[in-house]
Amino acid sequence: MADRTGRLRGPWVAGVGLATAVMLIVAAAWWTTHPKAFLDSPNYEAAAALPTEGMHAIAFAVIDPGVGRHGTVTFRQITANVVQNDAGAGVHLSVCRLDPERLDGSVIGAIDVADLSDYCRTLEPVRGATFDLDAASARQSQIVLTITPTRPGVVKVNGVRVSYRQGLRFGEQTTGPHLTVTSNEPGSR
């Protein structure tokens, strides 16, 4: 019996060791592929109406740093989740490197695109851009979604899909506001 118990103990210990190793590998793989750098969507909802003359486009901040997250991310890709676009609008995402001297601590909410240069030192492409999430560096950069209607209609965007790298980790999340922009006939505001 002692021999039999001794022989059974070896395979049992090896099985437990193998199961533990598999669980650690799965946990490490999940940790590597599931960072959570941003808040879940929607952070908020916003609506705006603009005439097709005068104010031709509107910009919304869709990702804002300093929301209790830490570290730096590098954007691999960001796409707007456009669910309706009757206005034939162009939808463009960019990184706004804020000019702290002009903002006095505030941030972009929703503004006329013509005013972006008043707030942003530079507007950069999103792909490959780095973004600091630390609260100490907050208010230095925002991801801005620009909506440019070409005719009367409605544009609805349900957040943005973000693909990013944070250190050794790669992740994808949907974050940002649910936006509705109504483009009216000129003067029908």
Structure tokens at 89: 């609008």
pTM to 2 decimal places = 0.71
> Do 97 and 140 touch, CB atoms closer than 8 A?
yes
3-class secondary structure per residue, 86-102: CCCCEEEEEEEEECHHH
How far apart (Å, rounded) are the C-alpha atoms in residues 103 and 101?
6
Domains and CATH numbers, the chain: 45-184 (2.60.40)
How far apart (Å, rounded) are the C-alpha atoms in residues 96 and 62?
11
Structure tokens at 37: 């750098």
pLDDT in tens, the chain (189 residues): 344 555 556 666 677 777 787 777 777 666 666 667 776 655 566 777 765 555 567 777 776 655 556 788 899 999 999 999 998 988 989 888 887 776 555 566 777 776 777 778 888 899 999 888 765 555 678 888 888 888 888 999 998 898 988 888 888 888 888 888 888 755 443
> Do 87 and 155 touch, CB atoms closer than 8 A?
yes
